[in-house]
C-alpha cells in the first residue's frame, strides 16, 4: 500500500529471446494474477 492508502500494482517485465516463451510466461503470470508487460524483440545482427 502507498501512503495514500491505495494499493500499488507492479508489472513484471517478461524478457526472452523466443517470442513463444515470452507469450507463454506472460499468459501464465496473468492467470496467476500478475500484471505483465512483454519486452519488444531486438533485431539480431
User: Is the residue at 36 inside a domain?
Assistant: yes
User: Is the residue at 27 inside a domain?
Assistant: yes
**The three cell numbers locating residue 38:** 512483454
* DSSP assignments along 1-45, one per residue: --TTSPPP--EEEE--SSHHHHHHHHHHHHHTT-EEEEPPP----
pLDDT score, position 1: 45
User: Is the residue at 1 inside a domain?
Assistant: no
User: Is the residue at 30 inside a domain?
Assistant: yes
**23 lies in which domain range?**
9-45
Q: Read off the pLDDT of residues 19-33 as tens digits, 9 standing for 90 and up.
A: 999 999 999 999 999
pTM above 0.75, yes or no: no
| Burial status of residue 14 (CB atoms within 10 A of its CB: 0-12, 13-18, 19 or more) | buried
Number of domains in the chain: 1
Amino acid at each position: 500500500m502507498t501512503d495514500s492508502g491505495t494499493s500499488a500494482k507492479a508489472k513484471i517485465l517478461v524478457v526472452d529471446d523466443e517470442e513463444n516463451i515470452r507469450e507463454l510466461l506472460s499468459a501464465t503470470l496473468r492467470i496467476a494474477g500478475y500484471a505483465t508487460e512483454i519486452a519488444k524483440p531486438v533485431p539480431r545482427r
